[in-house]
Amino acid sequence: MKNIILKPIKHRNKNVVAIQFGYDDEIKDHLKKLDKILWSQTIKYFYIDLSLQNIRTVYDHLKLKNWTVDFSLLNEAIKNLKIERKRTSLIINQLPENYELELKKFKRWLFQKRLSENTVNTYIEVTTVFIKYALRKELDIYNTKTVETFNYSYIFKPNKSISYQNQFISGIKKFFEYKGFANGEIHLERPKKERKLPVVLSTYEIKSILNSITNLKHKTLLSLLYSAGLRIGEAINLQITDIDSKRMLIHIKQAKGKKDRYTLLSPAFVTILRLYYKAYKPTKYLFEGQKKEKYSNASAQRVLKIAVQKAGIKKNITLHSLRHSFATHLLEKGTDIRYIQELLGHSSPKTTMIYTHVTETSLKNIKNPFDDLF
């Protein structure tokens, strides 16, 4: 019988669950099937971020094999997590009517600032949580000390992701701006942005993913994301009339930054698209759900996850990885980076320049000094 111990540890200033077991290839291979599982060369353990959901996911995954899983060392951590969840749920419950009205007005104000729907919803969400926190603690909502206290207790201390921290800071600053406060009156230090290179798939891996899909709609969607370098939001917002097969272009309307642009329509993709159109007969949007509404982001994510598993690819990839791969492969084929910037819809060439760090062509041209030793 295989024995596995789950225990809480601190790793890179984060609370994580370490998965301890004797050397065993079967356990290793089984754990690698979970998306969020990471290996640490420092502590020599597989680990996952500490949360109730992650503990349950790992436990259930290991019990599929009927292995013995000892999580007694997690009892105290689980207890604290449950208390925190209960405390958070109290914040997220009811909001007085006058504040509900205030948030509706704030939402309209944000839309008038021409912010995207996703950004507006995020700002409303973080502001709502902040207001509920202040009310529960009986603190002055419009006091910067309240903001700083909330930021420490619910953002910094739990070690929320850098993107979440920035969303919170931006959302609260916008709320204070809406209320007539000057930006300088709120002192919130933004976290340093992590500099991560994008995950890029090889052309072989792209082909493996697409070949693993039997559903025509799913194959067409992922093919579009790669062949046109689209964000998932741009793909699911595409209408039939945005496909210009005469000019072999795709018209992307009001994308990120409220900008229109054109991108490539691949001749090979057109063949797939015509088969898809005959089979599914979309009426307005190119990709529609069962009730003819827009296809959902969550559905697209599931499609990719299943395809990646079937293709046997171990990289931690997302739908956006297809866009990264499109840009990188263009650069490797010698496409001018200014054209790639236009195709992707980047405002600044600095954003596009990140692909120069991951191109296989550039790296292969570097002579490794180790080779001169032999």
pLDDT at 83: 66
- Out of 154, 276, 285, 355, which one is annotated catalytic? 355
pTM of the model: 0.54
DSSP state of 32: T
Question: Can you list the positions of beta strands (E) in the chain?
Answer: 3-11, 14-20, 38-40, 45-49, 68-70, 243-244, 249-252, 261-264
* Residue 231 a catalytic site member: yes
pLDDT at 219: 94
* 3-class SS string, 260-316: CEEEECCHHHHHHHHHHHHHHCCCCECCECCCCCECCHHHHHHHHHHHHHHHCCCCC
Query: Running along the chain, 374 residues long, what does each successive block of 10 average in pLDDT?
Result: 88 87 89 86 88 85 87 86 61 70 89 80 85 82 79 70 73 86 63 70 92 93 93 90 92 80 91 93 88 82 91 89 90 86 84 75 64 68
* Residue 355 a catalytic site member: yes
Cβ contacts of 143 within 8 Å, gap of 6 or more:
none
* Residue 30 a catalytic site member: no
Compute the distance between CA of residue 128 and CA of residue 189 in angstroms, rounded to an integer.
21
* Residue 323 a catalytic site member: yes
* Residue 136 a catalytic site member: no
- Out of 132, 231, 324, 329, which one is annotated catalytic? 231
pLDDT at 85: 61
- Out of 174, 219, 329, 346, which one is annotated catalytic? 346
Compute the distance between CA of residue 197 and CA of residue 229 in angstroms, rounded to an integer.
17
- Out of 174, 218, 219, 323, which one is annotated catalytic? 323
Residue type, 150: F
pLDDT at 363: 61
pLDDT at 345: 85
Domains contained in the chain, CATH given:
3-74 (3.30.780), 94-185 (1.10.150.130), 203-363 (1.10.443.10)
- Out of 251, 256, 305, 310, which one is annotated catalytic? 256
Residue 145 has phi, psi (to 5 degrees) of -65, -35
Compute the distance between CA of residue 170 and CA of residue 238 in angstroms, rounded to an integer.
29
Extract the tokens encoding 346.
């980047």
* Residue 346 a catalytic site member: yes
Distance from the Cα of residue 131 to its chain's centroid: 26
Distance from the Cα of residue 350 to its chain's centroid: 21
